[in-house]
Amino acid sequence: MEGLPETAAPGRTATHRQPSAPGAEPVPWARTAADLLTLSRLAVGVGLALWPWQPSLRSLAALFRWKMALWTADAADGALARWSRTPPSWIGRQDIWLDTVITLSAGVALARMGFLPAAGLAAWTAACAAAYALRPVEIVLLVFMLPLHLSVVVLAAAHRLPEAWVFLAWVVVMAVLGRRRLTQVIGLFIGGLPDGPRRWVLSWLPAVLRAEPDHAGPEADAGEPRGIRAAPGERDRE
């Protein structure tokens, strides 16, 4: 995902933090470029759902390449938004919703190819929509997207597509370059777990995958458990 809001450690007020050095000037064009890149990802994602795919490994490989391009663009627009040192834009605040639409579009493409059961995709979407209606927190959206992301990777590996090895190298590079963002995403998932499972995960999670105290990952507005926010639309790449 493009990024997550900077939040304070437990007991401190969550705020957006601008990662700029003293005296650094805002770069408005970088924010504009980030927003345009985000909108282009949305257009490509919807296009993937509408494309007349064939039930073939060639189509699966093409979709996988498009997904890697979208994931790379996702990381790039997040970096541009942070570099801009400007307040969150409306598009940035809708980021998780745009990611959800893009991810669902890839799932629809897989279903049209015959690699995912359409009924299963519809049932999963309906179940997550119902869960969100009962508890509108962004962890629900992330849980919805996770198996759809993994399905593309698992299918590529199961069919021994060379793109799977390229993806493995891509993951390593992105994990190294974006470790701080990775720890924030992990923190979000952990923060959304019940107390028991959360303590169990923290008992074995390596320190390198834990967010630093001042960037302990997303948490709720004051008074809510860490990793859960009541208004997903308020997140931004910052």
> How far apart (Å, rounded) are the C-alpha atoms in residues 226 and 53?
41
pLDDT confidence of residue 133:
95
Give the whole-angstrom CA distance, residue 226 versus residue 215.
12
C-alpha to C-alpha distance for 19 and 59, rounded to whole angstroms: 41
- Structure tokens of 186? 């992990």
Block means of pLDDT (10 residues each) for the chain, 238 residues, are 42 43 76 94 96 95 94 87 89 92 96 96 97 90 92 92 86 72 71 74 74 46 37 44
Cα 92 to chain centroid distance, Å, stands at: 13
Closest to 104 in 3D by CA, of 116, 117, 121, 119: 121
Check residue 169 and give its pLDDT: 85
What pLDDT, on a 0 to 100 scale, did the predictor assign at position 233? 43
- Of 204, 185, 201, 89, nearest to 145 by C-alpha is 185
CA distance 153 to 168: 9
The pLDDT, as a whole number, for residue 69 is: 93
- For the record, the structure tokens of 15 come out as 């705020």
Q: What is the C-alpha to C-alpha distance for residues 59 and 112, in angstroms, rounded to an integer?
A: 10
On the CB side of 25, CA atoms within 13 Å amount to: 3
151 and 110 in contact (C-beta within 8 Å)? yes
The set of residues, in sequence order, having a beta carbon less than 8 Å from that of 137 and lying 6+ positions away, is 192, 228, 229, 230, 232
Quick one: pLDDT at residue 51? 95
Element (H, E) at 204: helix 195-204
0.75 exceeded by pTM: no
SS3 165: helix
Q: What's the rounded Cα separation, in Å, for the pair 183 and 144?
A: 19
Contact 109, 48 (CB under 8 A): yes
